[in-house]
Amino acid sequence: MNELLPAPNIVGALWRYRWSSLVVVVGTVLISVLVALTVGSAGAAQARIVLKSPDSVEALGYEVTSESGFVRYVNQRALFVTSDRVLESARKRLEASESIEELRESVEAKASDNGDSIVVRVDIGGAARSTEIANAVVAAYRRESEAEVSSAADSAVESLRSRRAELVEGEGNTPGSVSSTVSELDQRITEINIAAEQFGDGVSFTDKAVTDSSGALTVLLRDAFVGLAVGLLLAATIAWARADRNRRVRDAADLTRLSDEPLLGEIEALGEGTSARLHNLVVPPLGSYRLVASVLRNTVRGGLVAVTGVSVGDGATTTVLQVAGAAARDGLRVLVVDAAVRTRELSHSVALQNDWYGMAPIAAGAATVHASTRVIEVGPGIEFRVVPAGRAGEGAPDYFRSSLLRRAMVEARGGYDLVLVDLPPLESAPEVSALIPAADGVVLTVRRERSVAAWRRARERIELLGGKIAGHVFTFAAHGSPETSAESAQSAESRVRAPAPPVDRGGR
């Protein structure tokens, strides 16, 4: 092996595993939406309490002399909203079934962004119940705040009255000496009473609790978007990990990196109409296959070439037919052998699928190569010969005799310049493995996006069976410049040092 393939890119990995990635993304989005519906905050209610500025009630214990002081005061009052005193008052007023702990977890109060009010938010399930509790908490806050102000005023007034009484009682000993002080105390008591009456509960006004009519949709859209982002990240991670473990041959350059054997040619993926013409033997072969045929003659010393694919659908049969047509047009005597006795794909292509003679009876000892050979004309004065797959009973491949297969290949080699044997993938047809060591070289077709692991397994099987890989043909390549195949072929020719075999015109 020359070198490892580069790591897969994320976009390519996502496209390769697009369906499983789509399932991951959709599943994550659905889970996010279900979570939003189950534990979301669409049933939350929000109320607002706008406070009075306590700058004129210093006597009541409130001292605010700056803007920062007022913000601090609002934050203190927000804490009072969620105090047990206020929550218990609201609970009693509602005769609520919720415990004080449940209310404490569900009620949230904080200063507004501009710092002039308190925002009360309740999320305890349904929107109606949250609204009811939010309004009850606001009302409870006003009651308890007013009670707090009244208590502070009463305490201050009581203290001043006690002081006044002491002064009046002691005036008999020093008449006229405390009249001014008593007058000041009376004035102070009056100021406190007026301030307490004006300040009241310390609330300027309140906004009734409301629920956002678009809250449910907003939450669902938000969670769906988050689920989409998380799903894409998760799908990309999984797809990249799978692609990294399951490397693919993406282009001819990847195949060249992986293998020391030459790249015989690169065949572009064709449209449906053009692909159908590849099996029409009257149509001249594609230029890329002609290059494969030319390079193959300089690569294989003998004349027997086995062609197989890494897996089903890698284009081995098409390669055999196209190379045979190209070699026949170059004047070579060509024999094509359909060893895929289970599928008989090549035999179907040359309309010999119903011929009883062929490789199946040859391998079973019931026919000979000479009796099974058929002539196929591909043009005026241009022909090659075919040994079809033949007909065999069910289970016959299990009784094939390796010695007969090898003997048939020796017989086939004698009278032709080039013998092309169409082999199925060895993993699907082990009965033809005897043909691998009988070949002078094995051409392995590799389809674009084929697994590197599958390519290695096919290569190892061929080597373990005693076969020699003559080169690779990269099929279904992405569309590129016309020079791509030529460059591949030239590169293969430069890597092969064996001279071209002499053309033997003897024999049949």
What was the pLDDT predicted at 491?
43
Q: Are 466 and 437 in contact (CB under 8 A)?
A: yes
How far is 101 from 307, CA to CA, in rounded Å?
Answer: 79
Instruction: Say which amino acid occupies 463.
Output: E
* Predicted local confidence at residue 57, as pLDDT: 55
Residue 281 near residue 352 (C-beta atoms within 8 A): no
The CA distance from 161 to 69, in Å, is 31
The pLDDT assigned to 11 comes to 84
Q: Are 443 and 472 in contact (CB under 8 A)?
A: yes
Low-confidence ranges of the chain (pLDDT < 50): 1-3, 481-508
Cβ-Cβ contacts under 8 Å for 230 (sequence gap 6 or more): 28, 32
Task: Give 478's DSSP letter.
Answer: P
Q: What is the pLDDT of residue 322?
A: 94
The string of pLDDT tens digits covering residues 143-172 is 988 888 888 888 888 888 888 787 777 765
pTM for this model (two decimals): 0.58
How many Å is the maximal CA-CA distance in the chain? 157
Could you give phi then psi for residue 422, rounded to 5 degrees? Answer: -85, 105
Nearest residue to 241 (alpha-carbon basis) of 54, 486, 13, 421 = 13
Q: What SS3 class is residue 441? A: strand
Q: In this predicted structure, what is the pLDDT of residue 348?
A: 93
Locus of tokens 């990249």: 240
What lies within 8 Å, CB to CB, of 146 at 6+ separation is: 200, 201, 202
pLDDT tens, residue by residue, 175-203: 555 677 878 878 888 888 887 788 888 88
**105 — phi, psi (to 5°)?**
-75, -25
End-to-end CA distance of the chain: 42
C-alpha dist (Å) from residue 138 to 59, 158, 213, 290: 25, 30, 21, 89
Residues 6+ apart with CB under 8 A from 114: none
Residue 177: per-residue pLDDT: 58
